[in-house]
């Protein structure tokens, strides 16, 4: 494909994308395919000679689209949102074209420096404590990670390094393996599976603590666990607190947890993967109170802040603690400016070495929406969640589980888990809307998340209509 | 930005990208900016109201471009290539628009299934042993990881899990911490820094073994290390062998290493991040002989196979060993088809949970180039490397270090390291071409890699002309 053909095909693709997004709600939101559907539809090996672009695009409709779960459909209410926006798409196109790999400052200074400044912009939008910002002389700062899972892991590894260094400074004879065997990390029973996984990867104990009636981890519970573990000779060193859990969007009480962590030398990481975007609105900023006690904080603009995946924003108070975890400098990655205080080599901040120019899409989104535009998006989606909540509350057959704080509504038919499982299956089988369940204190619960950027009141009404109809069938034993 | 504005802006962006790539060689390949250059050029916080697209694009030229290291310039010869191609860009645009997160089969069946089949296509291009392919009934298969660093780590974690399970099956009383403290992994002193880093993350000893005169790790060296370590009561369990090291593109002798690993129950992972793309040409396939002994294999199409970053292809012989390392199934991620043998939930294959629809860009590249087109690209670039090699060899002042096997030439001025450091600095200061150094047996060596897709013979001649001129200055003490 030469330059001129790219101009033509690129513009056709832009139109295809606009058409796709404009009409996506007409497609069944959840695909009607069985496992293994795709393999028989295409050849079993790559063509020797080039295929034509026309044939390829025909196959996008024939092979791909029938198997897509349409996350961008306004009828998609499963998991949490996966952000996209036009500015985000445009920024990402440019990033692909520049095609630089920004592992060090020198590998592409703009890639590194725009990222540092965008994380400062975003930190200011959230009103994060000054210590988390890089500024010109800061000791903290932000970085784009791929996912919240990686942020949790990176924080855990930094915490592990910090405690090992600390213990060995006190007792130089202590072997690392001995220390590792005594480490204990905490999180709530409601936290994301990736937290437990981070413990597995880092080979440390991860203790899941019980939550209160609002599914929130409280200070007293942590305090007791720490005391128990210390009495057993273990070394508490890390907690991952969640603001906005995946199951029910519950908020751990970081105002209570924070001071305990600080006095016990426990690294507090806060995972606000989903809910974090809401904190750019002053009316939701209180939910972040207590962040000042934490060592690291993370949320995913790629969930709810209109920046395409992947873009997980991660801040740390002391960048030296993060960098010290990973630093290795082979000659082929060294560069002249390396030891300047102004230099950031982001490869020391993350698991992968390579990294795309992801801050471009943030810059495009922030500038083309403006803070007001982003706040509007959040507020509109929270309003839609409350609209759905009030529909549920008006119906005696249903109950709300937990609280609707931002954009997630947990609800269920009053009655057995079996009934609710049938309801969920019925809904997804209809393919008009798509939702997923969760389990809360042994209750099978349905999660209704406001996802697509284009979701409007009419889609909420449409969804509720569907749910009601299927609920009637289920109650009548017709599903 | 509404649908109609996106159509306009998207098409403008396509033209901007075509123009950028067409004229990139006129820009200085390495930027003339000092650390901290960017921050003063833009406001210190995000705008409240939206900026205009025109202003944003003006700032791309004013703020971003002066700080970009232009990896896509035909005068860029540093590190290794970062692939881009028009088909790759188009596939990625579509992926961004669909905006699905394919962590499980149900989260977007097409995203998972196309990936499995594309990894089979690619495996067949490389003539990988059948055991690595998923097929319809295979027990192996491939997955797209973000980077080779993650592939190395994932393989190491799977190996760690396998050995712990194995040891505990033999002696149920053995505690995991005790086993971990005795594990030892191997790699060569020439392997990438990310291998050592994977050892740090997984909290296992990583022993770096010496290489022969071609910088290749040999069987005898491994055998001796294993015997020494076993005599010390340690448990050898993992090796990361490299095909095409970063410093000099050296190849470990996997034909010798493989049988030792198999008889000692050591997981052999092969990292061919850069060189792997060449194996699609029959004349380079011999370099992969011995892969049949390995447990997992990885290379990066995003380096040299015209698929945009990120796309690191990773295969494993027994998928169950990989999945068993990470498997966790909260209810919100469960789905109906979960237990079908045909189902792949890729979240169990990797560190992050979320993942983009990255196989689309592979499909676009494979179909629009065809295998022949991809082979042509590799062959042309290898020819260019040999063209550069012969220019160096014709000049008595210079020497080639190591062997030119595919697209990397290591060379230096005969003389001191200091002289060569001056040469490198002089070259990069001129900003006409960009290269990076490496260290080989205490020798400071210059690496010349064929990178951009658009690199031609004239760029090789231009680069050599530059190097010669600066070398003359350096020798005369003028630099």
Q: Which pair of structure tokens corresponds to residue B43?
A: 């406001």
Q: Considering CB atoms only, which of A46, A72, A438 is closest to B121?
A: A46
pLDDT band at residue A436 under the 50/70/90 scheme: very high
> In the predicted model, what is the mean pLDDT of residues B271-293?
98
Question: In this predicted complex, what is the ipTM?
Answer: 0.96
How far is B409 from B467, CA to CA, in rounded Å? 14
Task: Kindly state whether residues B327 and B448 are assigned to the same domain.
Answer: no
**B380 and B361 in a common domain:** no
Q: What is the CATH number of the domain that holds A418?
A: 3.90.1150.10
Using CA coordinates, name the residue in chain A closest to B107: A69
Q: What is the pLDDT of residues A194-244, one digit of tens each?
A: 999 999 999 999 999 999 999 999 999 999 999 999 999 999 999 999 999
Put simply, whether A61 touches B (Cβ < 8 Å) is no
CA distance A132 to chain B (A): 15
On whether residue B19 sits in a domain, the answer given is no
DSSP state of A307: P
Structure tokens at B131: 């055991």
Chain B CB within 8 Å of residue A298 CB:
no
Q: What does the H/E/C string look like for chain B?
A: CCHHHHHHHHHHHHHHHHHHHHHHHHCCCCCCCCCCCCHHHCCCCCCCCCCCHHHHHHHHHHHHHHHCCCCCCCCECCCCCCCCCHHHHHHHHHHHHHCCCCCCCCCCHHHHHHHHHHHHHHHHHCCCCHHHCCCCCCCCEEEEECCHHHHHHHHHHHHHHHHHHHHHHHCCCCCHHHHHHHEEEEEECCCCHHHHHHHHHHCCEEEEECCCCCCCCCHHHHHHHHHHHHHCCCEEEEEEEEECCCCCCCECCHHHHHHHHHHHCCEEEEECCCHHHHHHCHHHHHHHCCHHHCCEEEECHHHHCCCCCCCEEEEECCHHHHHHHHCCCCHHHCCCCCCCCCCCCHHHHCCCCCCCCCHHHHHHHHHHHHHHHHHHHHHHHHHHHHHHHHHHHCCCCEEECCCCCCCEEEEEECCCHHHHHHHHHHHHHHCCCECEEEEECCEEEEEEECCCCCCCHHHHHHHHHHHHHHHHHHHCCCC
User: Are residue A335 and residue A425 in the same domain, yes or no?
Assistant: no
Q: Flag if A110 and B353 touch (Cβ within 8 Å).
A: no
Q: Do A10 and B6 touch (CB under 8 A)?
A: no
Q: Report the interhelical angle of A457-475 vs A359-393 (nearest 10°).
A: 50
Express each pLDDT in A66-112 by its tens digit. 999 999 999 999 999 999 999 999 999 999 999 999 999 999 999 99
pTM of the full structure: 0.96
Residues paired with B240 in a beta bridge? B187, B269
Give me chain A's average pLDDT, please.
95
Backbone region of residue A477 per phi and psi (left: phi > 0; alpha: psi in -120 to 50; beta: other values): left
Q: Minimal Cα distance from B345: which residue of A?
A: A35
Regarding whether B354 and B393 lie in a shared domain, the answer is no
What is the pLDDT confidence band of residue A331, given thresholds at 50, 70 and 90?
confident
Paired with B26 in beta bridges are: none
CA-nearest residue to B454 within chain A is: A2
Q: Which stretch of DSSP H or E encloses residue A10?
A: helix A3-23
Closest Cβ opposite residue A203 in set B64, B203, B364 = B203
Q: Does B84 reside within a domain?
A: no
Percent of chain A with pLDDT strictly greater than 70: 99
Q: What is the pLDDT of residues B200-240, one digit of tens each?
A: 999 999 999 999 999 999 999 999 999 999 999 999 999 99
Q: Is A163 helix (H, G, I), strand (E, B) or coil?
A: helix
CA separation for the pair B470, A152 (Å, rounded): 48
Within an 8 Å CB–CB cutoff, is residue A124 touching chain B? yes
Q: Is the peptide bond before B310 cis (omega within 30 degrees of 0)?
A: yes
Tell whether A268 and A414 lie within a shared domain. Answer: no
The answer to whether the Cβ–Cβ distance between B121 and A246 falls below 8 Å is no
Residues of B in contact with A354 (CB under 8 A): 82, 146-147, 149, 302, 309-310
Helix axis angle for B193-202 and A319-326, nearest 10°, is: 110
Distance from the A138 Cα atom to the nearest Cα atom in chain B, whole angstroms: 13
A23 belongs to a structural domain: no
**What are the Cα distances from residue A269, in Å, to A206, A346, A405, B16, B208?**
14, 19, 22, 41, 34
Alpha helices (H) in A49-147, listed in sequence order: 53-59, 86-98, 109-125
CA B13 to chain centre: 28
Q: Would you call the peptide bond into B316 cis, given omega within 30 degrees of 0 as the criterion?
A: no
Residues of A in contact with B352 (CB under 8 A): 146-147, 149-150, 310
Mean per-residue pLDDT, B104-118: 96
For residues A397 and A361, membership in a common domain is answered with: no
Examine the fold and report which residue of B335, B365, B395 is the final residue of a domain before the chain moves on: B365
Instruction: Count CB atoms within 10 A of the CB of residue B173.
Output: 6
pLDDT tens digits for range A395-405? 999 999 999 99
Whether residue A53 is contained in a domain is answered as no
A346-366 residue pLDDT tens: 999 999 999 999 999 999 999
Give the model confidence (pLDDT) of B323-337 as tens digits: 888 777 777 777 777
Range of the domain at B424: 375-476
Question: What mean pLDDT is reported for chain B?
Answer: 95
Looking only at the bridges linking them, the beta strands covering A235-242 and A183-188 are parallel
Please tell me the predicted confidence (pLDDT) of residue B326.
Answer: 78
Helices (H), A171-202: 176-182, 193-202
* Mutate: best of B3, B35, B62, B350, partner A, most A CBs <10 A: B35
Same domain, B307 and B419: no
- HSE-up of residue A395 (Cα within 13 Å, Cβ side): 19
Nearest to A333 by CA among B461, B220, B246: B246
Q: Same domain for A382 and A356?
A: no
Q: A350 and A389: one domain?
A: no
Residue B62 domain-assigned (yes or no): no
With 0-12 CB in 10 A as exposed, 13-18 as middle and 19+ as buried, what is A136? exposed
Across the interface, do A99 and B71 touch by the CB < 8 Å criterion?
Answer: yes
Reduced 3-state DSSP string for B239-259: EEEEECCCCCCCECCHHHHHH
CB neighbour list of residue B319: distance below 8 Å, 6 or more residues apart: B134, B139, B140, B141, B344, B349
Q: What pLDDT is recorded for position B334? A: 75
CA dist B294 and B443 (Å) reads 32
- CB proximity B437 to A under 8 Å: yes
Chain A from 128 to 187: CB within 8 A of any B CB: 136, 146-150, 153, 157, 160, 175-178, 180-181
Choose among B21, B83, B153: nearest Cβ to A97.
B21
The β-bridge partners of B296 are: B269, B316
pLDDT score of A339 more than 70: no
Separation between Cα atoms, residue B112 and residue B103, nearest integer Å: 8
pLDDT at residue A334, rounded to an integer: 75
Same domain? B319 vs B177: yes
Chosen for mutation from A37, A53, A97 (greatest number of chain B CBs closer than 10 Å) is: A97
Angle at Cα A451 formed by Cα A446 and Cα A452, nearest 5°?
A: 145
Tokens 């930005």 correspond to B1
Q: Does A462 touch chain B (CB under 8 A)?
A: no
In terms of domains, do B341 and B442 share one? no
Give the count of Cβ contacts less than 8 A between chain A and B: 452
Same domain, B152 and B190: yes
Do the domain assignments include residue A68?
no
At what angle are helices B359-393 and B86-98 packed, to 10 degrees?
Answer: 150
Per-residue pLDDT reduced to its tens digit, B350-368: 999 999 999 999 999 999 9
Q: How many CB atoms lie within 10 A of CB A116?
A: 24
Minimal Cα–Cα distance from A387 to chain B, Å?
23
SS3 A346: helix
B68 interfacial to chain A (CB closer than 8 Å): yes
Say yes or no for a CB contact (<8 Å) between A100 and B203: no
Question: Would you mind telling me the total number of residues written for chain A in this entry?
Answer: 479
Task: Say which residues have a Cβ less than 8 Å from residue B95's Cβ, sequence separation at least 6.
Answer: B356, B357, B358, B360, B361
Please report which confidence band the pLDDT of residue A324 belongs to, taking 50, 70 and 90 as the band edges: confident
What confidence score (pLDDT) does residue B477 get?
Answer: 85
Which of B110, B125, B192, B280 to substitute to test the interface with A, most A CBs within 10 Å? B110
Q: Above 70 in pLDDT, residue B340?
A: no
Q: Is B184 exposed, middle or buried (0-12, 13-18, 19+ CB in 10 A)?
A: buried
User: Is there a contact between B3 and A14 if contact means CB atoms under 8 Å apart?
Assistant: no
The predicted-structure confidence for A127-162, as pLDDT tens digits, reads as follows: 999 999 999 889 999 999 999 999 999 999 999 999
Our count of domains for chain A comes to 2
Whether A82 has its CB under 8 Å from any CB of chain B: the answer is: yes
**Domain annotation covers residue A83:** no
The residue assigned the tokens 């801050």 is A359
d(C-alpha B392, C-alpha B473), whole Å: 17
- Which stretches of A344-398 are DSSP H helices? 359-393
β-pair type (A296-299, A312-316): antiparallel
Neighbours of A343 (CB within 10 A): 18
Q: How far is the alpha carbon of A3 from chain B, nearest alpha carbon, in Å?
A: 6
Q: By percentage, how much of chain B surpasses pLDDT 90?
A: 93
Among B305, B339, B365, where does a domain finish?
B365
Residue A101 sits in a domain of what CATH number? 3.40.640.10
First to last CA, chain B: 52
For chain A positions 6-25, those within 8 Å of chain B (CB to CB) are 6-7, 9-11, 13-18, 20-22
Asked if the structure places residue B69 within a domain, the reply is no
Q: CB under 8 Å to A402, separation ≥6 — which residues? A: A214, A215, A248, A249, A250, A410, A440
Q: How confident is the model at residue B79 (pLDDT cuts 50, 70, 90)?
A: very high
Which of B340, B365, B390 represents a domain boundary (last residue)? B365
Query: ∠ at Cα A424 (A420, A429), nearest 5°?
Result: 145
* CA quadruple A161, A162, A167, A173: dihedral sign: positive
Q: Is A419 left (phi over 0), alpha (psi -120 to 50) or beta?
A: alpha
pLDDT at B107 over 70: yes
């Amino acid at each position: 494909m030469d330059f001129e053909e790219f101009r033509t095909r690129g513009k056709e693709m832009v139109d295809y994308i606009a058409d796709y997004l404009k009409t996506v709600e007409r497609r069944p939101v959840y695909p009607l395919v069985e496992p293994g559907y795709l393999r028989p539809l295409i050849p079993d090996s790559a063509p020797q000679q080039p295929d034509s672009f026309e044939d390829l695009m025909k196959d996008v409709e024939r092979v791909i689209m029938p198997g897509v779960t349409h996350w961008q459909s306004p009828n998609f209410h499963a998991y949490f949102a996966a952000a996209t926006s036009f500015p985000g798409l445009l920024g990402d196109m440019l990033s692909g074209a520049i095609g630089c790999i920004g592992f060090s400052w020198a590998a592409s200074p703009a890639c590194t420096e725009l990222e540092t400044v965008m994380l400062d912009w975003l930190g200011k939008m959230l009103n994060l404590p000054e210590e988390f910002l890089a500024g010109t002389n800061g000791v903290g700062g932000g970085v784009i990670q791929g996912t919240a899972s990686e942020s949790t892991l990176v924080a855990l590894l930094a915490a592990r390094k910090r405690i090992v260094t600390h213990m060995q400074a006190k007792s130089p004879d202590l072997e690392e393996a001995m220390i590792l065997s005594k480490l204990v990390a905490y999180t709530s029973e409601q936290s994301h599976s990736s937290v437990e996984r981070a413990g597995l990867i880092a080979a440390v104990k991860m203790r899941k603590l019980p939550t209160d009636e609002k599914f929130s981890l409280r200070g007293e519970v942590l305090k007791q666990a720490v005391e128990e573990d210390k009495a057993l000779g273990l070394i508490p060193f890390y907690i991952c607190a969640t603001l906005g859990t995946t199951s029910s969007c519950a908020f751990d009480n970081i105002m209570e947890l924070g001071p305990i962590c600080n006095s016990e030398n426990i690294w507090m990481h806060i995972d606000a993967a989903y809910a974090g975007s809401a904190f750019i609105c002053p009316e939701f900023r209180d939910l972040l109170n207590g962040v000042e006690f934490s060592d690291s904080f993370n949320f995913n603009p790629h969930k709810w802040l209109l920046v395409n995946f992947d873009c997980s924003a991660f801040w740390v108070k002391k960048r030296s603690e993060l960098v010290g975890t990973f630093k290795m400098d082979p000659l082929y990655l060294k560069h002249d400016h390396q030891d300047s205080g102004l230099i950031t080599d982001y490869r020391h901040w993350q698991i992968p070495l390579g990294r795309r120019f992801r801050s471009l899409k943030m810059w495009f989104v922030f500038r083309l929406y403006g803070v007001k535009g982003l706040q509007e998006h959040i507020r509109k989606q929270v309003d839609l969640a409350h609209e759905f909540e009030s529909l549920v509350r008006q119906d005696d057959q249903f109950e709300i589980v937990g609280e609707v704080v931002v954009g997630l509504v947990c609800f269920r038919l009053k009655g057995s888990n079996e009934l609710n499982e049938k309801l969920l299956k019925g809904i997804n089988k209809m393919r008009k809307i798509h939702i997923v369940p969760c389990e809360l204190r042994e209750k099978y619960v349905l999660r209704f998340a406001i996802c697509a950027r284009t979701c409007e009141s009419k889609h909420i009404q449409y969804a509720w209509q569907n749910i009601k109809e299927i609920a009637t069938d289920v109650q009548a034993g017709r599903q």
